[in-house]
Each structure stands twice: as C-alpha cells, then as structure tokens.
Amino acid sequence: MLFDLAMDRPVATTWMHEWRPEKQKQEHFFEIQPYFFHPAEQMKPPRACEDYWSEFRHCKSFMNRFHQYYAYGSVPSCHQWKEDYNNCREWKKSRSTETQEALQRSERKRVAEQKNFDPVWELRCEPPKDWHLPLNQDNTQDS
C-alpha cells in the first residue's frame, strides 16, 4: 500500500494497475504496512465479511447440496457460515469483543477440522530409482 505524506492518507492505486516509474521516484511516497501506521487496522476480521456471505451462498446452492448429499449422504448445515457473516458485520459496526472472540473461535475450529483430514497419498521427496526406464508395454494390466 502506498501512503501519501502530503495528504496524510493511503493512496488507492495498485502498482499492477497503474505503474509509472516516475511516480515511484517521488520522495513523499513510501511503502508501509497499514497495521504499523493505524493500530485500528489490527482489529480486522480474519476474512472479509463478503467472503463469509459467499461461502454461505455457496453452501445453500442447489449444486453444492446435491454434491454433498451424493458424496456424504447428508445435506450440509450452513448455519455457521451465516452466523460468522453476522458476527463479522457486528464486529465491523461495534468492535464488540464478544463477536470478535466468536469469529476467531469459529475460524480456529474450521482450521482444526481441516487438519484432521489425512492426505490421499504420501508425498515423495525424490523420484523412484527406475523412473528413467521405459515402460513395459507387453504386460498390460486389466483395469
């Protein structure tokens, strides 16, 4: 993020969208992290509130419900995504510590559940010793 010292506010341009070398050489522009300058920025939710709403809408979609029912035999509960969205909105409005803790607790629980899944296959550190040999085309396996 660029910060304009003359105007004392962040500049809302990105370098990929509008990059000009002469603009970057100006002395009153320098790069900072927003949370170093504004302590209130540390109080941001773990995700944007729109992300929680998008996850809720995806969870409620027909295709997702059909897939979940087909794959797992049950329809998913989307209550937590909506609750997280409401907590996020409340946190942005009132900076309530209760909603902050509830949202952080929900995110920690979601991350812990992701760690419970075992990987599908074991990752290799190096290729097999005979990886460079040609495949045996004579012995075809029935699949």
The span from the CA of 88 to the CA of 91, in Å, is 5
Q: Model's pTM, two decimal places?
A: 0.54
Q: Which residue has the tokens 């909603």?
A: 99
Tell me the pLDDT tens digit for each residue of 14-48. Answer: 444 444 444 444 444 434 344 444 455 556 778 89
Do 84 and 103 form a contact (C-beta atoms < 8 A)? yes
Q: Please give the Cα distance from 95 to 54 (Å, whole number).
A: 22
When mean pLDDT is compared across 84-88, 130-134, 138-142, the lowest value belongs to 138-142
Task: Map out the domains of the chain as residue ranges.
Answer: 2-43, 49-113
Q: What is the pLDDT of residues 102-117, one digit of tens each?
A: 999 999 999 888 888 7
